[in-house]
Amino acid sequence: MTDQEIVAGSCGIGVILNPIPDKDAFKKLCKKPKQAPSRKNHFFTYNNYNLDEIDVIVSTLKRFAFKGKIQSEIGEFGTPHLQGMIWCKKPHRDTEFRLPKAIHFEKLMDVANTCDYCAKDETHDGVFRCEWGWPAPLILLKKEDFHDWQTQIDNCISFEPDDRTIWWIYSEEGGMGKSAFCKYLAFHRKAVICCQGKYSDIMNIMFNADMEATNLVVFDLPRNNGNKISYSALESIKNGLICNTKYETGNKLFNPPHIVVFANSEPAWEMMSDDRFKVLCVD
């Protein structure tokens, strides 16, 4: 019998009691459940968690992930839940974590927004928050702690740069906050930073810099280099025209940026026209 069962002793061809399903449909019924996808990065939510589960969840995820963020929240409809994101060293299926099946895992898509989403204060209930593998936050100079000279420079570079002025800020004593201000400008103003180097080194830095994202170039000269700087590089940058001969060769044009040099003594005045420099001693 292939497609039907025949009852013995019945007339004709028999009576169909238990028809066997279509073969394709039968295969679908017998098909194994699809495995969870293997991913390096996971986003997860766990509704109505128990407090005594948190330690196990965190310690388990730390064994697989080198970086993560988890916090407890109260959702829009009052549901307490854990929410988090993890970065694993290699791809894993969420079933490998052997955590409660009620935890919903999905692919981590928009990393920047998800980081904010998993650490937002608006829905955090204050019960639990944890993160690991993240760099320590940058300690930066705050605007309210500016010296007068820092406020002056910050105000001046808020305007459109001209094609001549080079700010030269120096302190013979040191410890006046030049390097801290340089770091502030790099972070808040997206300044291109140069410390020292020959003309060709500086041109290579500028050739690779995104001059559409900033209009500020800062030089922070170390005390032990004797105030050495390529004045030719300063002039080329201020002119908005550079020629790179190191590694990736080529020319680059951009609008003249602000240039601020943090040094330890006055500039070599003979190296450039007097009207180029605006010099400020901050001792």
Q: What is the mean pLDDT of residues 134-157?
A: 93
**One-letter amino acid for residue 209 of the chain:** A
| 3-class DSSP assignment, residue 72 | strand
Q: What is the model's pTM? A: 0.66
Distance, in Å, from the CA atom of 282 to the CA atom of 50, rounded to the nearest integer, reads 59
Looking at domain 39-132, its CATH class is alpha beta
Are residues 243 and 253 in contact, defined by beta-carbon separation less than 8 angstroms?
Answer: no
Model confidence pLDDT, tens digit, residues 75-133:
888 999 999 999 999 999 999 999 999 999 999 888 777 888 888 888 899 999 999 99
Q: Which residues pair with 218 in a beta bridge?
A: 193, 260
Q: What is the mean pLDDT of the chain?
A: 88
Q: What integer pLDDT is reported at residue 6 of this predicted model?
A: 45
Q: Are strands 65-74 and 124-132 parallel, antiparallel or unpaired?
A: antiparallel
Q: Please check the confidence at residue 189 and state whether its pLDDT lies above 60.
A: yes
- The hierarchical CATH code for the domain 143-281 is 3.40.50.300
Listed range (44-53, 88-97, 221-230, 231-240) with the worst mean pLDDT: 221-230
* Token pair for 117: 């989403």
Map out the domains of the chain as residue ranges: 39-132, 143-281
Contact between 186 and 215 under an 8 Å Cβ cutoff? The reply is: no
Calpha distance 140→137 (Å, rounded): 9
Grade residue 257 by pLDDT with cuts at 50, 70 and 90: very high
What's the distance, Cα to Cα, between the start and end of the chain in Å?
104
Closest CA to 280 of 206, 172, 202: 172
